[in-house]
Chains A and B, each alone.
Chain A
Amino acid sequence: MSAGKTTADHPFAARKSLNQFNNKLFTTVVWVVGICTVIFIIALLFLILEKGLPKLDWGFLYGEPSEIEEGGGVGPLLFNSFYVLIISLLISIPLGMASGIYLAEFAPANKFIGFIRICVEGLASVPSIIFGLFGIVLFVESLDMGLTILGAAVSLAFLNLPVLTRVTEEAIRAVPQEMKSASFALGSTHLQTIRRVLIPVALNGIITGICLVAGRAFGESAVIILTGGVTSSGVMWDFNPLSPGATLAVHLWYVQSEAIVPDAQLIAEKSAAVLVFIVLLINIVFRVPLWINSRKMR
């Protein structure tokens, strides 16, 4: 006891030990929570991939789905997933980046723009099914197009637009003012500064946003069910944008809840594995150029 007392009496000991205790406690808590989260995520991925991946074969990935018999594939649905994703990104990336750059660089600082900014933020967190309903009203009812790939892609683009706008605006704003000044002082126009300094420096943030959005779009089901339907045209390489637009994520839901094929469970497991695998792949593929770039810039 006496030994403990002398340490406590030491002028530096008391505060230090309390702070150190807090510090240790905090560090431990952060570590434990972090490790638990990582384990949980890895376990989840493992469960999904472990059930589906070993049973995968080209016949399943490439094959046409069947309504009644066993052994149907998901070829056209997988194709639709990529087709819808690419069309929606082709629409939402340019528009989202343009509006983000507008808000960061050109928009006047007034109440109206402030209001627009709040709207964008709000839209970014609106449930996706609302965008699906919007898609129905626009494509199925007003334009009378039926359930199509195009309708699904455009509705998805609307869903992703606010997020991309936000992310771009934030990333562009985060570029230090000194860099802009340096560019202007060398005689660059505003457009040149945006193209050669702001976008390259902000690219990391923008690509992270695109990854997020692409992953979400690839796995989105509510919007697609309402605007693209639950079936595909059933044949491979159907590039017609007016074909029915069910994607793999929708198919996963469909076989689990509606389909009457005997091997629905198996198809669902394999589809889930493919979905997760591809979303991971999208994240890696988009990041490779960034890694190369940051290695160069070290």
Chain B
Amino acid sequence: MQTIASQTLIDIHKLNLYYGTFHALKNVTMDIPQKAITAFIGPSGCGKSTLLRTLNRMNDMIPNTRIEGKITIGGADIYSKEVDVETLRKKVGMVFQQPNPFPKSIYDNVAYGPRLHGIRSKQKLDEIVETSLRSAVLWDEVKDYLKRSALSLSGGQQQRLCIARAIAVNPDVLLMDEATSALDPISTLKIEELAQELKDKYTIVMVTHNMHQAARVSNQTVFFLNGEVVEFSDTEKLFSNPRDQRTEDYISGRFG
């Protein structure tokens, strides 16, 4: 029914998640396409971040969470016993709502991931740092100050640094949880343009509270309500011609 052009990369099937007794995700099923931007929208507390965190298993660290159902990425079940979460997280990078660089130099921030995964050669690291910073459109601003503390950057620069840090480990998927909500309009625009460029190489899943942002940037949009998927379709279709009454109410600003 949905006109999804490219191939599915992430397949979520009948996913239920409980925080203790609280049922946070209810029977979520969706196919997230490869090399495209998929946006999650919905009112606060509806489970967008929770679903995002199931994709790189960051929920594993929250005590008392229980998960049912199946998620496969590229055909592999990410909750099966053989899975090594570190390898999974290397393949599924994440950018957080608040920029969170380490109190280290710009260079060391970007090189952090590659070093974790065993790259020691200075030459190789230099190369990765440069290409990652270029991909994140930060290189020209920081190339002369790589040894400076990352904390000396502005909020927007820090967030682009975090994106550079995430792509330095060469992931397949990039999860962005309201990555622009702490930023000014200009930095936001830069990050949106960046996302547009990155989608040729990465599968991007972004959570956003800003419906204009979802409409501007994403190819597919998912609308959530109380832990359930209400509607999942091409962004244009969802915003111009929603199938569900609740979607229409939400995007026309009648609630949420």
Contact = CB atoms under 8 A, between A and B. Distances in A.
B93 A185 contact: yes
Interface in A265-279: none
Nearest to A186: B113
A291 to B, nearest CB: 15
B239 interface: no
B58 interface: yes
Contacts of A186: 89-90, 93, 112-113, 116, 165-166, 169
Interface string B7-47: 00000000000000000000000000000000000000000
B100 A181 contact: yes
A16 interface: no
A296 B145 CA distance: 12
B149 A187 contact: no
Nearest to B63: A109
Contact of A182 (B86, B100, B115): B100
Contacts of B104: 200, 297
Q: How large is the interface on A (under 10, 10 to 19, 20 to 34, 35 or more residues)?
A: 20 to 34
B113 A187 contact: yes
A298 B87 CA distance: 34
A182 B58 CA distance: 10
A26 interface: no
A185 B112 contact: no
A9 interface: no
Contacts of B116: 186-188, 192, 196
Given A181-B96, A187-B89, A196 B117 contact: no
B61 interface: yes
Interface centre among A176, A178, A186, A189 (most CB of B within 10 A): A186
B220 to A, nearest CB: 23
A184 interface: yes
Interface centre among B102, B147, B149 (most CB of A within 10 A): B102
9 contacts: A181-B96, A182-B96, A182-B165, A183-B102, A183-B112, A184-B89, A185-B93, A192-B116, A296-B147
B125 to A, nearest CB: 15
B188 interface: no
B85 to A, nearest CB: 8
Given A196-B112, A197-B102, A297-B103, A187 B117 contact: yes
Interface of B: 56, 58, 61, 86-90, 93-94, 96, 98, 100-105, 112-113, 115-117, 147, 149, 151-152, 162, 165-166, 169
A296 B107 CA distance: 13
Contacts of B103: 179, 200-201, 297
Contacts of A200: 103-104
A297 B149 contact: yes
Interface centre among A179, A182, A187, A200 (most CB of B within 10 A): A187
Nearest to B97: A178
Contacts of A179: 100, 102-103
A206 to B, nearest CB: 15
A219 B58 CA distance: 48
A197 B87 CA distance: 19
A184 B61 contact: yes
A146 B58 CA distance: 56
A37 B34 CA distance: 67
Contacts of A178: 96, 98, 100
B102 A182 contact: yes
A297 to B, nearest CB: 4
B164 to A, nearest CB: 12
Given A182-B102, A197-B102, A187 B87 contact: yes
A159 B112 CA distance: 38
A178 B182 CA distance: 15
B100 A187 contact: no
Contacts of B165: 182, 186
A266 B165 CA distance: 63
A297 B103 CA distance: 7
A178 B116 CA distance: 18
Contact of B86 (A176, A189, A297): A189
A289 to B, nearest CB: 15
